[in-house]
Chains A and B, each alone.
Chain A
Amino acid sequence: MFIKTIEYYFPQKKLTNIDLKREFPEWDSQKVDEKIGIKSRYVVADNETSLDLAYNVCEKIFKNIDREEIDCLILCTQSPDYFLPSSACVLQDRLGLKTSVGAFDFNLGCSGYVYGLSIAKGLLASNVANKILFITAETYTKMIYKKDISNRAIFGDGATATILSAKAPGFNIGDFILGTDGSGFSNLIVKNGGFRSPLNDNPKEIIYGNGNLYTDNHLYMNGPEIFSFTISRIPKLVSDVLLKNDLTIGDIDYFIFHQANKFMLEYLCRKMKISESKFYINMKETGNTVSNTIPIAIKDCIDRDVFSNGSNIMIVGFGVGYSWGATILKKRGLNEKG
């Protein structure tokens, strides 16, 4: 089962650290730039949604792929246009895909790309689908409180599209390790707006961290707890996925982890004794785009010709839930085995 091609799309509006500094004069933009590794991020307009981003990235990928060949559409988002129907159904019609396409959404954040690949692999292996369009699309910035400088500095919006099929060439998808620990659900959450806790017309401002503000109608992230979960869970995930794919850490040519923030990634890299030259860190212009970060990174590496035929690439997703997953991609040409 192979990844054939990837595209990404960002909204037009860019929010820089200079823009944020104007709104929050006391904010240490230099520290965020240096430690967190983010200088700017893309932000959707008020009338622009994850479905719009998804549509735009698909039209981009259809410049080189015949839409008639798609027989399954999978969309990963935590910022859908509607409670129902699923965005994938709306998108099928908007893109003019045939009605024999199977289409559905699933709700995961930073582990979403790895989970989506595992679902796609299963659908291809069981002959349910032959060519899958897998989309990630997020507009987390719509869920962040205006006065929450910490999260506004971290998250950005975007969408990606990946085409998958059972035939080489492409990136062969290896075996997966997936995992969940729902005990951490409240550490990254938008509490209000569902049926357990409806939107509050007059929500009170809550202080967290170093004077940050949010409300229960908006996104809350307990950064230290998320960091703590990540550094304790991910090293084991890495060793488990190596074992499952019968590889050692020395067999991996490149590591692409979810681009949460530079500080976290640098620490994980050091802790697992991975060479910096093999470890992807780049979120300077985009911020943390949730389920989009891994496909954006893979596409960036393809464009820069980072991978050779036979390269083993480990991808690792982790975050909200808590949820995590990893697999190995192997670049394979048309006539190569393995």
Chain B
Amino acid sequence: MKKDRFLSELKDALALNKNINMNDDIEVDSLSKLALIAFFDEFFDLKIESKDLSYIKNVKDVVNLIGLDKIEE
């Protein structure tokens, strides 16, 4: 997935009000955990364990779970 689309889809999934970039922090509450699980499933066919979601503090953590090779410049 292209980086721009990834950032846009992630922003929509987390229902954020402003655009995000790769270096931004994100707040992950219980509802956004569900949103992230759906995001990983819908766009990357990935099943993520809930304990892995606890480590997500920023956009880069999301990319690390997906795999850097899945995001194109």
Name A residues whose Cβ lies closer than 8 Å to a Cβ of B: 31, 35-36, 150, 209-210, 212, 222-225, 227-228, 231-232, 263-264, 267, 270-271
B30: nearest chain-A partner, CB-CB: A209
Q: Is the C-beta of B16 less than 8 angstroms from some C-beta in chain A?
A: no
Chain B: interface residue count, which band?
10 to 19
Q: How far, in angstroms, from A50 to B35 measured CA to CA in the complex? A: 34
B38: nearest chain-A partner, CB-CB: A267
B24 CB to closest chain A CB (Å) equals 20
Residues of the B chain whose Cβ atoms lie less than 8 Å from the Cβ of A31 = 31
Interface string of B31-60 (1 = CB under 8 A from A): 101110110011000011110010000000
Provide the main secondary structure of the chain B interface.
helix
Contact between B37 and A263, CB atoms less than 8 A apart: no
Residues of the A chain whose Cβ atoms lie less than 8 Å from the Cβ of B34 = 223-224, 227, 263-264
Contact between A210 and B30, CB atoms less than 8 A apart: yes
Contact between A232 and B47, CB atoms less than 8 A apart: yes
- How many contacts A-B (CB < 8 Å)? 43
A228-B50, A232-B47 known; A223+B41 contact, CB < 8 A? no
A229: nearest chain-B partner, CB-CB: B47
A332 CB to closest chain B CB (Å) equals 37
- 18 A-B pairs besides A224-B30, A263-B34, A271-B42 with CB distance below 8 A are A36-B31, A209-B30, A210-B29, A212-B30, A223-B30, A223-B33, A224-B37, A224-B53, A227-B37, A228-B37, A228-B50, A231-B37, A231-B41, A232-B41, A263-B38, A267-B42, A270-B42, A271-B41
Residues of the A chain whose Cβ atoms lie less than 8 Å from the Cβ of B42 = 267, 270-271
A228: nearest chain-B partner, CB-CB: B37
Residues of the A chain whose Cβ atoms lie less than 8 Å from the Cβ of B33 = 223-224
B34: nearest chain-A partner, CB-CB: A227
B10 CB to closest chain A CB (Å) equals 16
Residues of the A chain whose Cβ atoms lie less than 8 Å from the Cβ of B53 = 224
Residues of the B chain whose Cβ atoms lie less than 8 Å from the Cβ of A150 = 30
Residues of the B chain whose Cβ atoms lie less than 8 Å from the Cβ of A227 = 34, 37-38
